[in-house]
Amino acid sequence: MKHRWFRFDFKKNNHHLMNYHSHREFEIFYFHEGKAKIIIQHHIFELLPGDIVLLNGLTPHHTYTMPPHPYVRTTVEFLPEFIAPILKSMKSMELFDGFLALNNSIIRMKDQANLVYFKDCIARLDQLISRRDNHQTIHSLVEGQVKNIIIDLLFEINHLAHTPLAEIISNKNEKDTLIEKMIAWIMKNHMKQLTLDQMSKEFHISKRHITQLFRDSLGMTVMEYVMRCRIDHAKILP
């Protein structure tokens, strides 16, 4: 469901490739079940059920699903300026810290039982928006309730145990680490005239191997990735 300042979206077994994208909204991404990866800028993370990802929407990101494995996720996106006055009055602006960090944040709980209240907030938001779509509640009241639930989510996320991003990075396999190095190199040089020959020389591997790595890990060719970097860069230019 899309609104002027927030979006709520639930997807189940939708394996359509989500291209690299960015947006103004902060995003709470909750991975219910299945097997998938999320790529945030040039970092690749293999998602586990129960993972909560906090995204500053302006950071280029996309998910890569792995059919025939299931893929079930919920996203809550909201413009921070609609929540900020309330948080400021509560002296709780630090609840935005996870979204404002340049490397974004991933929360991975060791005990899924700790997610009970978080899941309840997601369920309440889903139910509220469903009632709104069915015209069972007054629009202005729904907007206020949505803000309250999003703030509840932010407080709950703040209390959940965080797995430091560096620890998640250290658990990557060799292929993902190599792809991340290539992505970082492309992002640094994407405005130049890049070729597979240059990449092959830079990383000392064959062009065929590079092409296969990008298709397997990102679901796109190297040149498609370069073009998306250029488009995303143009979006954030003043």
pLDDT score of 168 more than 60: no
In angstroms, rounded to a whole number, what is the distance separating the alpha carbons of residues 2 and 21?
Answer: 17
- pLDDT number for residue 161: 57
Question: First and final CA of the chain: distance in angstroms?
Answer: 29
DSSP strand pairing (61-65 vs 6-12): unpaired
Q: Render pLDDT for 126-137 as a digit per residue (tens, 0 to 9).
A: 988 887 666 655
pLDDT score of 2 more than 60: no
Among residues 149, 151, 145, which one has the least CA distance to residue 132?
A: 145
CB contact at 8 A, 42 and 88:
no
Q: Render pLDDT for 90-141 as a digit per residue (tens, 0 to 9).
A: 999 989 988 876 456 788 877 778 889 999 999 999 988 887 666 655 566 7
In angstroms, rounded to a whole number, what is the distance separating the alpha carbons of residues 107 and 170?
Answer: 15
Structural domains of the chain in order of their starting residue, each with its CATH number: 6-168 (2.60.120.280), 173-235 (1.10.10)
CB contact at 8 A, 183 and 144:
no
The label of the residue with tokens 């005990």 reads: 111
